[in-house]
A and B are shown apart, each in its own frame.
Chain A
Amino acid sequence: MRHRLSRPASGNSRLVAPLAILLAAAIFVVDTIDPFSGAVAVLYVVVVLLAGTAFRRRGILLCSIACIALTFSSFWLVHGEEASGGALSRCLMSIAAIAITTLLVLRNQSTSTDLSEKAQLLDLTHDAIFVRSMGGIITYWNRGAEATYGWSAEHAMGKSTHQLLQTVFPARLNEINRQLLSSDRWEGELVHTKRDGAVVVVSSRWSLKKDADGKPLAVLETNTDISQRRRAETEVLKARAELAHVTRLTTLGELMASIAHEVNQPLAGIVMNGEACLRWIDRDEPDLDEVRSAVKRSIADAQRASDIVHRIRALSKKGDIQMALVDVNELVNEALVLVRHELDANRITLKLDLASRPLPAFGDRIQLQQVLINLLINGIQAMASSNSDFREILVTTSIDESSQANVRIQDSGPGIDPDSARQLFNAFFTTKTDGIGMGLSICRSIVESHGGDVWIVPNPGGGAIFQFSLPRVEKDAGS
């Protein structure tokens, strides 16, 4: 394929027309006064070919008819009615040559018009389309590519693509090429640098062009600029993380009493151990073993207080999402530390049925803890408002049939009516008088952004069961 397929050069027609007329006139004169009575009229073919470069179908036809008419009139003028058989056959041969040439010219022109129209179509698209040889040299570069990258076709042709665009590949280039050669195509996201230095993210589709023997000839690369979309997606992610952070702070606010208790407990321990310690020292015979164990307990308590403060700081911090391998069982235990007091205060019995093995999942520790805390508080609040004496929360973790990590939080509250259940995870939907309806909607957005699912089923024994699952971790699947 050429850079631009030559279009019928309408611009040249002004020059070609007089030339053709002049040539036709010259042939006519020679043919008419022809002393050799040779087949000079065959030269009209040149006129037709000339017309073919300048005119469209109609012009070529007119030109061809004119040439035939001139041939015929020369013949009439020279031979009149007493034409010899030889002369007539020469004239007919010339006319046939002109006709055949015309046909060929017309056919050739329609093919090239087709091709050029197709090439024009490629120029209409906004996608950047270019062709590069197997060596990476650009051999075609459409308008979309000019617009996207800022390089003109003249500049881009003959350059190496990956150098010109400073391509950043999502995988090793060898790997990509291997896939291209084996399946004739490749799709993925590339990062390119434009002429002005700006970076564009493109969704790229490559297809391999092969010759008749199946030998790869060139690669057609079609790139769609998705920078805008990517930016919007990043914005959405950022907004979502911020919302999660704000609701996390709200949740922590609700847990204030629990948190105070959890920190106060080890502090009381430190004070008490310290006082006991002094008394053991001040005895007539100081008991150093008792002193030692009191000091050890103080240290353990201080460590415990510090752990809780650390955990709360982590929850309240506004940090980037950090995806890592986490153990769901561990997350459950960590979340329970913060709500345990809330359970006690509402006289709720906690039952745990955790999977005996670690439950690996890939996710952001803080956000997943937030989901657990929200679901637990949800259950606690549901029961706090009921008058029933049976108050129990059962937390179960397991690996389900499709090897996903599954968490169930079952309460014995009043349950949820089916109408509410449908809207429960929508933003701003709440059944509480003082709720804003963000908690569960955040839970859903977090779980879904982890590729998981969250849903609710009625508890057959009364109450509700909130459940969520996280995709299995491939690495563990084999072990």
Chain B
Amino acid sequence: MIRRPVSPSQSQGNNGAVPPTVLVVDDDPSLREALSSLFRSVGTRVELFGSAPELLNSRLPDGPSCLVLDIRLPEVSGLEFQTQLAKAGIHLPIIFMTGHGDIPMSVRAMKAGAVDFLTKPFRDQDILDAVAGALERDRQRRERERALSELQSLLRTLTPREREVMAFVATGLMNKQIAGEMQLSEITVKIHRGRLMKKMGARTLADLVKMAGALGIDAPGK
């Protein structure tokens, strides 16, 4: 009978990473407790906050996490909080809880990147599903970020020459054309190219082009 959200605890557990956590921000203590009970009943970690500043002042968990936020919060409203988080570079998926008649607010929230919004009172399965989706999304984002930062550290191992060659390769130029552009011999270009492929861990040209795209490398001089 127990329906669990995609059990990320297990998949993460395999990697030895921190289990996913739901962060609940609601000024109504009773509702906060109810949400906590619901998440705990399906084995998901929860942290509770009474207000937006309270959350900002505490250490956020390292593992995948998502925010469950009342759109109407005292002091800092849910929408303002969303903006503040974005400015602070915190990209947690947000699930908004709204009351009736909060449609304009919900629209704004969605446009600002909220993943979901639920009108109170909602079915438990709805919020569990929404949370599972959000956590998965955050996990993927973290995965992407980790991969990107790996690529960036690899990129730092290249010499300026090699980086330049990589940029030309990524735009699809032949070795001869690159040699012409850089006023080098074709053989020198070939050596640089072999070395940088190795350093970046790219097995094929397609791999390298994808990496250059992820790293945002453009052809020099453009």
Residues of A at under 8 Å CB distance from B?
257, 260-261, 264-273, 275-277, 279-280, 282-284, 287, 290, 293-294, 297, 300-301, 304, 341, 343-345, 347, 349-350
Contact = CB atoms under 8 A, between A and B. Distances in A.
B73 A290 contact: no
B100 interface: yes
Interface stretch (B26-34, B108-116, B149-157, B188-196): B26-34
Given A265-B28, A297-B34, A272 B72 contact: no
A293 B40 CA distance: 13
B44 to A, nearest CB: 11
B38 interface: yes
Contacts of A341: 72
Contact of B30 (A264, A287, A304, A349): A304
Nearest to A280: B41
B54 interface: no
A264 B99 contact: yes
B2 A265 contact: no
Contacts of B38: 272, 275-276, 279
Interface in B137-166: none
22 contacts: A261-B72, A264-B120, A265-B28, A268-B31, A269-B31, A270-B121, A272-B31, A273-B37, A276-B34, A279-B38, A279-B124, A282-B1, A283-B2, A283-B41, A284-B2, A293-B37, A294-B37, A300-B30, A304-B30, A345-B72, A347-B77, A349-B74
Nearest to A349: B75
Given A275-B123, A282-B2, A269 B28 contact: yes
B120 A265 contact: yes
A285 to B, nearest CB: 11
B120 A290 contact: no
Nearest to A294: B37
B86 interface: no
Nearest to B26: A265
A261 B99 contact: yes
Contacts of A290: 37, 40-41
Interface of B: 1-2, 28, 30-31, 33-35, 37-38, 40-42, 72-75, 77, 99-101, 120-124
Contacts of B1: 282
Nearest to B123: A275
B99 A260 contact: yes
Contacts of B124: 272, 275-276, 279
B54 to A, nearest CB: 16
A52 to B, nearest CB: 98
Given A273-B37, A282-B2, A265 B31 contact: yes
Contacts of A284: 2
A294 B34 contact: yes
A308 to B, nearest CB: 13
B69 to A, nearest CB: 14
Nearest 4 A-B pairs (CB), nearest first? A275-B124, A268-B121, A279-B41, A268-B120
A276 B28 CA distance: 17
A343 B120 CA distance: 20
Nearest to B124: A275
Given A272-B38, A275-B124, A276-B37, 5 more contacts: A272-B34, A275-B38, A287-B41, A294-B37, A344-B77
